[in-house]
Structures are given as structure tokens and as C-alpha cells.
């Protein structure tokens, strides 16, 4: 089966009678779970339930993170947990396009993961934990870019989570090392600020 619809097939679909198009849609939509949920959000909820949906994801994420809190896991395993948590967030974003929630939920997850990761010491530890540091930093850079593109009125809402991330750089010197390699100005996070390079001027 082709991954993309050819221009010829698109033209043929456009030419179909409306009733036949409707029948095809009703048959095809249930085969795509995300599409069904997207349509429910847009057509039945009129895109007005973003906050309620975000709260539901927040509750699930909190439960998920609390399950691991108080333990110490190898950084390789924590990456696996981060990917699982990211999946919960990404599903929400794919349905709602909730960029505010994307920043808020990711900050919560990134800050929480330091509470149960067991980072190693010395040169061997640096090699083992490098993937963890890079995963966290690349995700941080992504959400800083998203946050910086939002209206400045929202920036203060993220200050607490950003300040908590700033403190991680004080607590984990290796994090600073990799941030410098990726040219992430982590010092500017002090006070809960979004680094200037990520703010989109309008």
C-alpha cells in the first residue's frame, strides 16, 4: 500500500459524488484512532476542552512519575521512562495542538526525572549517562523554542518549572558541560527566564 496519495488519486477522490465520499470517510475514519479523537475534539467538543484534556494528561503523568519517585534507576532505564512519558504528552499534542500544555507538561516531566535517576561518577559514568543528558537537553531546547514562540503573557506561567531546571544545572555539573556543547545558554534560565535566543519577536 502506498504511503502517500498520488495526485491522480486525489483528483479522482475529488471527483466522487458527495454521498460516496461520505461513505468512504465513515468507513476509513475508524481505522485511524488518532483521527477519530481529533474529529471528536474538533467537531463534538468544538476545540473547547483543551484545558480539561491537559488536566487529564497531567493527572496521568503525575501518577506515572510518582510511581518511580523515591527510587534510583540507571540513566538508560530513565530514558525509557522519559520516552514513555513523552508518548503520553505527544498524543495529547497531536489531538489538541496544545503548545502551552506541551511546555508545561514537559517541564514537569524533565524536572521530575532527576528525582529518580542514578547518575554515575567519573569518566565511565560520563559515557554511560551521556545519552540521558543529551535527551533531557534536546527536549529542553525544543520546549524553550515552543515557549518562546508563545505570547509573552504566558512566559511567567513557566517560570517555576524553568527555575527548577536552572537548579538542576547547579546540582549536576555534567549537565552544564553538555549544554555548552549544544549551545544552550542555561545560565539565562535563572529566575525562570526563557533564554533570549528562543524568544520569537513579533
Q: Is residue 32 part of a domain?
A: no
pLDDT of residue 202: 63
Closest CA to 157 of 27, 47, 19, 54: 54
Residues 6+ apart with CB under 8 A from 44: none
Asked, for residue 26, whether it belongs to a domain, the answer is: no
Residue 64: inside a domain: yes
Q: Is the pLDDT of residue 120 over 80?
A: no
Q: Taking the model in full, what pTM does it have?
A: 0.87
Between CA 126 and CA 171, with CA 195 as vertex, the angle to 5 degrees is 35
Q: Which of 62-76, 124-138, 185-199 has the lowest mean pLDDT?
A: 124-138
pLDDT at 14: 85
Work out the angle between the directed axes of helices 75-96 and 122-149 (0-180°, nearest 10): 10
For cell 496521568, name the residue.
60
Given a cut of 60, whether residue 2 has pLDDT beyond it is no
In a domain, 14, yes or no: no
- Residue 141 domain-assigned? yes
Q: Is residue 119 part of a domain?
A: yes
Q: Is 108 within a domain?
A: yes
Section 22-51 average pLDDT: 85
Q: Is residue 143 part of a domain?
A: yes
The count of structural domains within the chain is 1
pLDDT for 16: 83
Range of the domain at 112: 48-198
Amino acid at each position: 500500500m502506498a504511503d502517500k496519495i498520488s495526485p491522480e488519486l486525489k483528483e479522482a477522490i475529488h471527483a466522487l459524488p458527495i454521498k460516496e465520499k461520505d461513505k468512504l470517510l465513515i468507513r476509513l475514519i475508524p481505522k485511524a484512532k488518532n483521527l477519530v479523537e481529533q474529529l471528536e475534539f474538533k467537531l463534538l467538543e468544538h476545540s473547547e476542552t483543551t484545558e480539561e484534556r491537559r488536566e487529564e494528561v497531567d493527572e496521568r503523568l503525575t501518577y506515572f512519575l510518582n510511581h518511580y519517585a523515591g527510587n534510583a534507576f540507571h540513566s538508560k532505564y530513565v530514558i525509557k521512562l522519559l520516552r514513555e512519558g513523552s508518548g503520553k504528552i505527544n498524543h495529547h499534542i497531536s489531538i489538541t495542538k496544545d503548545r502551552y500544555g506541551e511546555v508545561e507538561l514537559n517541564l514537569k516531566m524533565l524536572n521530575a526525572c532527576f528525582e529518580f535517576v542514578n547518575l554515575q561518577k567519573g569518566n565511565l559514568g560520563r559515557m554511560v549517562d551521556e545519552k540521558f543528558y543529551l535527551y533531557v537537553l534536546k527536549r529542553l531546547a525544543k520546549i524553550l523554542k515552543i515557549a518562546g514562540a508563545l505570547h509573552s503573557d504566558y512566559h511567567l506561567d513557566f517560570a517555576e518549572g524553568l527555575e527548577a531546571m536552572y537548579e538542576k544545572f547547579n546540582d549536576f555539573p555534567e549537565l552544564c558541560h553538555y549544554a555548552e556543547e549544544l549551545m544552550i545558554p542555561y545560565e539565562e534560565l535563572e529566575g525562570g527566564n526563557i533564554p533570549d535566543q528562543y524568544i520569537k519577536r513579533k
